[in-house]
A and B are shown apart, each in its own frame.
Chain A
Amino acid sequence: MRPTFMGFESSKTALFASQKALDIVGHNFANMSSEGYTRQRTDQVAVESYSYKNRVSINAMNYNGLGTNVNGVSQVRDQRLDTAFRNIYSETSYYNKSNAMLADIENVLSEVDIGIEGNGYGLSWGIKQMYSALEDFASNVNVGGDASIFAESVKNITTLLNHISRTLTDTADTYKMELQSEVNDANTMLTKVADLNKQISEMMSTNGYTNQYGPNELIDKRNVLLDQLSSFGKLVVSNNADGSVNVTMNGHMCIEGKNADKINYHENSNGTVSLTWKSDGTASDTDYGTLKASTEILNGRGNNISSGTETTIRGFQYYEDYLDTFAGKLAEILNNTLPETKDADGNVLTYKKLVGESDYSNGKISVYTDKYVTAKNIAISDDLAENPSYIIYDKNSSENAYMVELLGKLSINTQTFSNGVETFTGTFQDYIADYVGKLGSDVQYASSRYESCNKYSEQLLNERDGISGVSETEETMSMLTHNKAFQAAAKVMTAMDELLDVIVNQIGALG
């Protein structure tokens, strides 16, 4: 026997379900442009009436047509796409950061712009103006004016070396500061994800949420944070039964339920930086992501690494080495070619010193010509600065063999430049072309890898949107469908009412 008011019940469920569905459609429309929003839908199922649910066996046919039930509001999300996107995003961020840093280094060490008389503004120009001054002076070795011009050119190239080296260090310092704030950001995100984990697991246990129907907005927030975190390093996310997630970054478990680890930033005495996990001191910048890009290039010394904190990438330290070797070689040649004193047989005893290491102390800059110079501290010697004619051998003579030798060494003959492990044999100009070429190749590689990874990550985002994004047409259709369903349910209810009205009011009424 059919229950009397059963029709009302099934229509009522339909009305409730349609209203809820329309609420969710409205919610989807409202959040169409919200960052990280995953479209939601009501999971509507028909109500079952099977005897296995009851103690007493029932005649199922009387209980068919119980209406509909909304099991929950689910998110439509594909975990595989999330994982794929996070992986490629950490790679994209890695190459983006590398590209930016290397491009900045290239700006500092720029050599091929037009510059002064078509020779750029960098060390190529420095060599060129020294060469021109020296050629003029070699033809007029007794002329004080030409000696002054040559002395000026030596001063120019030493000042240029100081400036380029200092700018490179300053650029590295700005990236160190940026790394510190990135580490802070990462730590904040790790804490936030752990907090969200706590909230989600509490909601799951107290509000009757299940794994399938969880607190969707909180989960969306957490996913946005995990996407952002993936830019710092390679993430592996695993779900726990209580709704929280465990996150491994670069192979280290950094979020375990409600607990989050922290990254420590530390600058070492040799200028390198280290990023370690607070819990166990292991390195936190081991696999893709901006953290690895930053530390690799900040600590990068190429093949010339001399300590465990340096990396084999050609970074700031590597190019600093190039500049220091350039300065060292320049000083070696300038300070060991023009003779100062000779013995009776004409063998050279001491050489004139044209450059030295400058040291600022006691409010005074002194130049020491017997110490090892670097690009930062090379300076014109006091003798040459005070009197450019210091380099004139004899005011009455045009003998210029030593000047010609200096000319040859600086611009024509090959030298051996040793940067530690790597050595290079060529002229000064070839040496410049060598490091500029290496840097250009690295920038070009990082740029092209970034473009390709970026394209792929955009494609994954589009695929993800295809699953999780809100489609206006689809939602409109849902809206029309549920609207119609609501109207239909209301009509059914009216029809049921009329039926009951016949039964209640009209059957058995006489007259």
Chain B
Amino acid sequence: MSIRITQNSVNRSYLSNLSNSQYSMNTAMDKVQSGRAFTKVSENVSAGTKALNIRSKIYKNEQVRDNVAVANEQLTVAEDSLVSINEIVGNIRAEVLKVLNGTNTKVGEEIYTTVLQNSKDSILKLANCKYNDKYIMGGTNIKTQPYTVDANGKFQFNGVNVEDIELKNGKFESNGTSVPYSSDTYIDIGLDICVVNGVVDPRTAYKVSVSGLDSLGYGKSDITYKDMSDNEKTYEVSNNVYDVITDMSKAIEDGDMDKLSALYDHLGNCANKLATNVSDIGMRCSFLDATLSRLENESLSLSQMQKDTEGIDDATEIMNYMNYKYAWNLTMQFGSNVIPQSLMDFIR
């Protein structure tokens, strides 16, 4: 089938092809210059929506890494304090053992009393340790000193005697009212936080607050011992190491070695609990180290995914651009032949 070719149709085809060629060239040039495979979702819908998700994962990963690093440092400070307290308690037990085994001179007693008082002061200072100007073992109390000693020498947590504190339904209470600032602080470490009615699911957020109460002891226990007359005595004593040391001091002053011995055993139990808490915090720090490492790896793979989704392969795009440019140049050069010679040019 022969088709009549008119000048208009030739022009139209030429212009259409030229404009397509130019469009391809410009698009390739944009990609090379910006380094991006697309600037609108419509250019590549699946990659576009994927890119949005990856971006969101990247900034969340970054934030969570910061959270984990801060939590790790905070817990490390708490761990150091508790380790020091544990050492002090160990030393005190050694000294008290000397008293139990040694002669009781008045001068010796005064020395031991001073040693015990100094230890108590150290414990108090360590319990009130800070990280970034915040008290970290005071539950959610971060501004005012959480551990104090009242006029009667009783160890207090946020103004409440520690020996009166009990744990009911997972909350600390004293005489029926909840202990102030005794709940927990959480951070997001990328486990899909779930909170219902203000109660955080502990499997989904990470607790960074350290309860000094668990480590240093709270509430009371009964200890029984036989006195010099072989009578059985029961004595209600605090579970808190500070209060126990206070009682020990008094026992030394009173010269009551039987009571001192019972208190020595009780302090041993408290020390075991303290040591358990220290290793628990140690475990938590290790977990955070592992999480940080995992998050850093995830960050690298997310960056790579982002580059694969949104970025271009430089070599391919440059080659494409060169090809389109070459085609465009050819089309332009060819333009002079578009208006072909017709019969008109040949007749005299």
Contacts and interface: CB of A to CB of B under 8 A. Distances in A.
Instruction: Answer whether A and B are interacting partners.
Output: yes
Interface of A: 32-33, 103, 106, 110-114, 118-120, 124, 127-128, 131-132, 135, 138-139, 142, 339, 348, 395-402, 404-405, 407-408, 411-413, 429-430, 432-433, 436-437, 439-441, 443-444, 447, 458, 461-463, 465-467, 469-474, 476-477, 480
Interface string B192-229: 11110111100011000100000000000000000000
Complex A-B, nearest 9 residue pairs according to Cβ-Cβ distance, in ascending order: A440-B41, A469-B6, A405-B195, A443-B42, A408-B193, A396-B143, A399-B140, A476-B343, A472-B342
Contacts of B41: 106, 111-112, 436-437, 439-440, 443
B12 A461 contact: yes
Contacts of B53: 429-430, 433
Nearest to A454: B16
B55 A433 contact: no
Contacts of B169: none
Interface string B136-152: 00001111100000000
B5 A466 contact: yes
B49 to A, nearest CB: 4
Contact of A476 (B6, B184, B194, B344): B344
Contacts of B197: 348
B330 interface: no
B52 A436 contact: yes
Nearest to A463: B3
25 contacts: A32-B7, A110-B40, A113-B40, A132-B63, A139-B67, A339-B198, A397-B181, A398-B140, A401-B186, A405-B200, A408-B194, A408-B204, A412-B188, A429-B52, A433-B49, A436-B41, A441-B45, A458-B12, A461-B12, A462-B9, A465-B6, A465-B9, A471-B6, A472-B7, A472-B344
A411 B310 CA distance: 23
Given A106-B40, A110-B40, A397-B142, A135 B52 contact: no
Interface residues of B, number: 60
Contacts of B13: 458, 462
A180 B38 CA distance: 35
B4 interface: yes
Given A339-B198, A440-B41, A400 B186 contact: yes
Contacts of B7: 32, 469-472
A437 B142 contact: no
B251 interface: no
Given A458-B16, A472-B342, A474-B4, A112 B143 contact: no
Interface string B54-73: 01100110010011001000
Q: Which of B8, B134, B192, B205 has the most CB of A within 10 A?
A: B8
B187 interface: yes
B48 interface: yes
Contact of A471 (B4, B63, B141): B4
B126 interface: no
Contact of B59 (A33, A111, A131, A433): A131
Contacts of A441: 42, 45
Given A398-B209, A399-B181, A436 B143 contact: no
Contacts of A467: 4
A103 B66 CA distance: 39
A404 B49 CA distance: 27
A33 B7 CA distance: 9
Nearest to A461: B12
A404 B193 contact: yes
A429 B56 contact: yes
B88 interface: no
